[in-house]
Amino acid sequence: MATRRRRGPSIALPWERRGTWLRGLVSGRRWRLALGVLAIVGALAMIASSADQRQRERETRAAISEIKRAVGAFRADLGRCPQSLHELLHPPRSGRRYLRHIPVDGWGRAFWVRCPGRYDPDGADVVSAGPSGSYLEDDNLR
């Protein structure tokens, strides 16, 4: 007859118990739960990042239209293009301010303004460098 060993309480030293929660998490069925939770957290992070990106683009497009409106009003009043965005704040001869402050894009950067515009000779080209911050990248907003 074979004798069976009974498994009873064993003594474990503190350094032998390290990492047992991690081993328990990845062994058995718990790893599926952990993987599911990680997938949900990753999906939520991507959704939040996408929503933040869309909000920044909306803010940038609103600022672009504000600058174009101000340049158009400046040209109508003075008959010329402004030399800089600062001239829209403090115009030379009129007391009218065309902008309250110099707008920045959704990423906190200044706009590039060309007046008269290449694409709109009667208006101005206003360009944001976009998320990359470089005008050489193909993510610029007009």
Tracing tokens 């060309």 back to the chain, one arrives at 114
Residue 101, in any domain of the structure: yes
Residue 97, in any domain of the structure: yes
Q: Which helix (H) or strand (E) holds 38?
A: helix 30-78
Residue 21, in any domain of the structure: no
Residue 142, in any domain of the structure: no
At 130, list the tokens.
């976009």
Residue 48, in any domain of the structure: no
pLDDT in tens, 120-133: 777 788 888 777 76
Number of domains in the chain: 1
pLDDT in tens, 26-36: 566 677 777 88
Burial of 38 (0-12, 13-18, 19+ CB in 10 A): exposed
Residue 30: partners with Cβ closer than 8 Å, 6 or more residues away: 24
* 124 and 85 Cβ atoms separated by less than 8 Å: no
Question: Which residue range is the domain that position 60 belongs to?
Answer: 56-127
- Provide the CATH number for the domain around residue 119: 3.30.700.10
pLDDT in tens, 46-104: 888 788 888 888 888 898 889 888 888 888 888 888 888 888 888 777 678 888 888 88
Fill in the DSSP letter of residue 43. H
Residue 110, in any domain of the structure: yes
Residue 65, in any domain of the structure: yes
Its pTM stands at 0.64
**106 vs 51: CA distance, rounded Å:** 13
Residue 24, in any domain of the structure: no
Tracing tokens 């976009």 back to the chain, one arrives at 130
Q: Within 10 A of 139 (CB to CB), how many other CB atoms are there?
A: 13
